[in-house]
Structure 1
Amino acid sequence: MAGTFVITQDTSGEYRFVLTAGNGEVLASSGGYKQKGAAMNGIDALRLTAVDAVVDDRTDVPVPGHAD
């Protein structure tokens, strides 16, 4: 099942979104946006950027099964 972007409005009136996996687990969350359109633009930017995003691992802990 595909992920879902869920947009909410908090008590201060700001719009926020979370990206959830098919099982409902939150994968990413945004900061607050004053306009709903700005939150939608944030979702669009995430969709475009994540496709080609690289992992910048700044830790010293190796991940078993992953080539460095």
Structure 2
Amino acid sequence: MSGKFEVYEDAGGKYRFRLKAGNGEIVATGQGYASKEAAHKGVDAVRRAAADASVVDVKAAA
């Protein structure tokens, strides 16, 4: 089963998205948006950015 994005309204009335893996585990979450449409645009932005994104290991600040 493939992953899916879920868009939902949180307890504070903001719209958020979460990305669930095929096994149902949440692997990413989005910020709160004022509208469902804005949350869907956030999903689209993540899809575009992730398509060609590289993985960079970042050293922790001392």
TM-score after normalising by structure 2: 0.88
TM-score after normalising by structure 1: 0.81
Partner in structure 2 of residue 65 of structure 1? none
Partner in structure 2 of residue 4 of structure 1? 4
Map 1:10-49; keep pairs closer than 5 Å: 10-49=10-49
Partner in structure 2 of residue 56 of structure 1? 56
Q: Which runs of 5+ in 1 are unaligned?
A: 61-68
- Whichever residue aligns with residue 20 of structure 1, its letter is K
Identity of aligned residues (%): 48
- Whichever residue aligns with residue 47 of structure 2, its letter is R
- State the number of aligned residues: 60
Larger RCO, structures 1/2 (Cα 8 Å, 6+ apart): 2
Write out the 4+ residue segments of structure 1 that deviate beyond 4 Å after TM superposition: none
CA distance in 2, matches of 1:29, 1:10: 12
Q: What CA RMSD, in Å, does the superposition of the two structures yield over aligned residues?
A: 1.2
1:19 partner SS: strand
Q: Deviations over 1:3-39 (max 9, x none)?
A: 1101110121100110000000111101100011110
